[in-house]
């Protein structure tokens, strides 16, 4: 890769990272470790993005990511500006940082009554390192075949950094690894897929993208709440990352090979319900 292309890629990753957060819901869920088979007590991780609607600042995510939680139950992590993007196998102990509680005692969770969406309203300084993207003006519902980009925290790309037995349960500490991928908007599902495989899809509210890592045995679990971004290819005198908010991931089908995304225009309907028309 040429040096100028590498710089452009780094700038784009940096920009997406400043609008992306890992979300840890501290309400415990009990299941079984898929490797050991032991009963496991875990905190549920997910993704989110930091947006603003006029003067309102918030974290947007999928409602199921913050299920049963109050703001005090939520911890967040936004990649620092100097973070180096490297493979999970190259991570070192000093690269692992804690998700931390929000710095806002007045934070409120608003859950959508008709779609898997939720927002956490916060102060502009409540999430360290984050910048808030203008969802009021910079948005787009992508067309068939258009390329989109996503920055999220899928749990299949996490690292287990500690595990211990407490009573008859196994507790694990994991490090979520930032994943950036690109995909093109898929055609509408066939009638057979809608009946048996992609059952929650509504073409007026959703679009689909492929998750190519599924072919390598990875599942997009944890990507829920991550934003999809459309990037303009318009020529600029001085190049800079030029993204528009395109939607939010909420579900997956076909063993994780297809991700369902709520359209940006639908997210905006929810934001208008919460905040009123933007100015």
Q: How confident is the model at residue 129 (pLDDT cuts 50, 70, 90)?
A: confident
Provide the pLDDT for residue 35.
40
Q: Where are the beta strands (DSSP E) in 65-195?
A: 74-77, 100-101, 108-111, 118-122, 133-134, 147-152, 159-166, 169-175, 179-184
SS3 state of residue 74: strand
184 has pLDDT over 80: yes
Provide the pLDDT for residue 107.
95
H/E element, 86: none
Q: Is the four-CA dihedral 155, 174, 151, 218 of positive or negative sign?
A: negative
* pLDDT, tens only, 32-59: 444 444 444 445 678 999 999 999 999 9
7 has pLDDT over 90: no
**High-pLDDT (> 70) share of the chain, %:** 72
122, 16 in Cβ contact below 8 A? no
111 has pLDDT over 50: yes
Quick one: tokens of 60? 């947007």
Provide the pLDDT for residue 241.
66
Provide the pLDDT for residue 128.
87
Q: How far apart are CA 253 and CA 215, in angstroms?
A: 13
* pLDDT, tens only, 202-260: 999 999 999 999 998 888 988 999 999 998 776 655 445 689 999 999 999 999 999 99
Provide the pLDDT for residue 180.
86
Which residue ranges form the domains of the chain, and what is each CATH number?
A: 3-275 (2.40.10.10)
Mean pLDDT of the chain: 82
Please give the average per-residue pLDDT across 155-161, as a whole number: 69
Provide the pLDDT for residue 196.
87
109, 66 in Cβ contact below 8 A? yes
Q: How far apart are CA 271 and CA 124, in angstroms?
A: 17
11 has pLDDT over 80: no
Q: How far apart are CA 14 and CA 67, in angstroms?
A: 29
Residue 246 or 10, more confident: 246
SS3 state of residue 28: strand
pTM: 0.84
């Amino acid at each position: 890769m040429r040096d100028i292309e590498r710089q452009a890629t780094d700038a784009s990753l940096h920009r997406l990272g400043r609008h992306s957060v890992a979300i840890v819901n501290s309400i415990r869920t009990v299941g079984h470790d898929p490797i050991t088979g032991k009963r496991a007590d875990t905190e549920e991780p997910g993704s989110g993005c930091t947006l603003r609607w006029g003067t309102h600042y918030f974290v947007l995510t999928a409602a199921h990511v913050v299920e049963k939680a109050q703001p005090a139950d939520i911890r967040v992590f936004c990649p620092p500006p100097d973070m180096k993007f490297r493979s999970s196998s190259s991570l070192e102990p000093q690269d692992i940082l804690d998700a931390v509680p929000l710095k806002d005692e007045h934070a409120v969770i608003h859950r959508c009554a008709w779609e898997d969406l939720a927002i956490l309203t916060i102060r502009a300084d409540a999430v360290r390192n984050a910048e808030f993207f203008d969802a009021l003006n910079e948005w787009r519902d992508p067309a068939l075949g258009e390329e989109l980009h996503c920055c999220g925290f899928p749990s299949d790309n996490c690292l287990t950094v500690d595990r211990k037995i407490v009573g008859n349960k196994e507790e694990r500490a994991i490090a979520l690894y930032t994943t950036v991928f690109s995909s093109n908007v898929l055609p509408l599902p066939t009638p057979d897929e809608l009946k048996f495989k992609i059952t929650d899809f509504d073409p007026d509210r959703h679009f689909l993208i492929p998750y190519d890592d599924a072919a390598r045995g990875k599942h997009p679990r944890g990507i829920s709440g991550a934003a999809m971004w459309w990037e303009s290819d318009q020529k600029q005198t001085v190049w800079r990352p030029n993204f528009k908010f395109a939607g939010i991931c909420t579900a997956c089908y076909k063993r994780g090979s297809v991700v369902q995304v709520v359209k940006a225009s639908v997210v905006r309907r929810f934001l208008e319900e919460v905040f009123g028309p933007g100015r």
